[in-house]
């Protein structure tokens, strides 16, 4: 796809991507910034989703590398989850190119708002590991691909869904859950990029420039997660959930 944007607009998009990468690495929700920014720049809706995924893959990769280097999570421990996340996202990406997510946009504020309230009022959420509520096999075979499909189909708050579901359903502490979320989010972003590219729905020059900002922001955001722990991540998740609800309801 060919759309000419001025270098001033591209520079602004890179700045937005940097902030989004920082937020995404901590709590998810970076798409709350990058998707409206791309739309305001005049990028068509489906191409906005495709270009957003291209720049997001750099942020999730940067955050994943940081988490692995800091010994928070290792890809070899969640290989099947990564495969299922990839497959789910690929299906979602194919679906959104045929059927725009209008109905999902109406439902999403309620779901995200509920997550924000739960995170706000749940005592000591994710501060220590707890007894799992479902098996790891069920989580990887059912929950992960469903979230992956959502990410390929629409995307905002995917990192939040991955990390909070891991805390609530698998009893993980919030820092390790965030580490797993980054790796799964990289798998979903990669699948989306491949299938959006196949459909010709990516602005490559814009997306590649934005990747730089995403990677830098995600690096510093993931380091904040590691240093701050659950007591730092939890209020950020609450803040981002309510910010997303406001955005979806009042535009």
Q: What is the pLDDT of residues 175-231, one digit of tens each?
A: 899 899 999 999 999 999 999 999 898 999 999 999 999 999 999 988 888 887 656
pLDDT of residue 122: 66
Task: Name the H helices within the chain.
Answer: 7-27, 31-40, 45-69, 79-96, 102-121, 136-138, 144-153, 158-170, 174-198, 204-228, 230-250
Distance CA 194, CA 215 (A): 19
Distance from chain centroid for Cα 6: 27
How does DSSP assign 156-168, residue by residue?
Answer: TTHHHHHHHHHHH
Determine the 3-state secondary structure of 130 from DSSP. coil
pLDDT of residue 103: 62
Distance CA 106, CA 143 (A): 22
pLDDT of residue 187: 97
Token pair in block for residue 161? 């869904």
Q: Find the range with the poorest average confidence among 100-104, 133-137, 164-168, 240-244.
A: 100-104
Candidate ranges 112-116, 153-157, 226-230; pick with highest mean pLDDT: 153-157
Average pLDDT over residues 40-52: 88
Average pLDDT over residues 228-239: 70
pTM across the whole model: 0.84
Torsion of CA 28, 211, 72, 153, to 10 degrees: 40
pLDDT of residue 118: 65
Mean pLDDT score of the chain, rounded to an integer?
85
1 pLDDT exceeds 70? no
188-218: burial string, b at 16+ Cβ within 10 Å, e else:
bbbbbbebbbebebbbeebbebbbebbbbbb
Residue 247's CB is within 10 A of a number of other CB atoms, namely 17
> Over the stretch 62-76, which tens digit does the pLDDT of each residue have?
999 999 998 988 899
126 pLDDT exceeds 70? no
Average pLDDT over residues 82-91: 97
Residue 229's CB is within 10 A of a number of other CB atoms, namely 14
Return the CA Rg of the chain.
17
Look at 85 and 160; give whichever has higher pLDDT: 85
| Residue that is written with structure tokens 């992960």 in the block | 144
With 0-12 / 13-18 / 19 or more C-beta atoms within 10 angstroms meaning exposed / middle / buried, residue 51 is buried
The residues spanned by each domain of the chain are 7-250
127 pLDDT exceeds 70? no
Look at 206 and 130; give whichever has higher pLDDT: 206
Residue 231's CB is within 10 A of a number of other CB atoms, namely 11
Average pLDDT over residues 52-60: 93
Residue 106: pLDDT band by 50, 70, 90 thresholds?
Answer: low
């Amino acid at each position: 796809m060919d759309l000419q944007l001025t270098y001033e607009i591209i520079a602004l998009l890179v700045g937005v991507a940097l902030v989004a990468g920082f937020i995404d690495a901590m709590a998810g929700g970076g798409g709350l910034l990058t998707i409206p920014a791309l739309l305001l720049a005049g990028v068509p809706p489906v191409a906005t989703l495709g270009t957003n995924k291209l720049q997001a893959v750099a942020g999730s990769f940067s955050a994943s590398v940081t988490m692995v280097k800091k010994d928070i999570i290792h890809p070899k421990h969640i290989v099947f989850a990564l495969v299922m996340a990839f497959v789910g996202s690929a299906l979602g990406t194919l679906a959104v190119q045929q059927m725009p997510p209008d109905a999902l946009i109406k439902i999403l504020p309620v779901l995200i708002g509920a997550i924000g309230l739960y995170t706000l009022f749940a005592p000591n959420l994710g501060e220590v590991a707890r007894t799992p509520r479902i098996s790891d096999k069920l989580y990887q075979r059912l929950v992960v691909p469903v979230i992956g499909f959502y990410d390929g189909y629409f995307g905002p708050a995917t990192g939040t869904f991955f990390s909070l579901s891991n805390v609530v359903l698998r009893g993980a502490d919030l820092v390790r859950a965030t580490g797993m979320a980054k790796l799964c989010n990289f798998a979903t972003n990669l699948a989306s990029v491949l299938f959006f590219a196949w459909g010709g729905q990516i602005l490559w020059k814009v997306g590649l420039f934005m990747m730089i900002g995403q990677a830098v922001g995600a690096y510093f955001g993931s380091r904040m997660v590691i240093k701050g722990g659950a007591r730092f991540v939890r209020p950020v998740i609450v803040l981002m959930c309510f910010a997303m609800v406001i955005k979806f309801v009042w535009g």
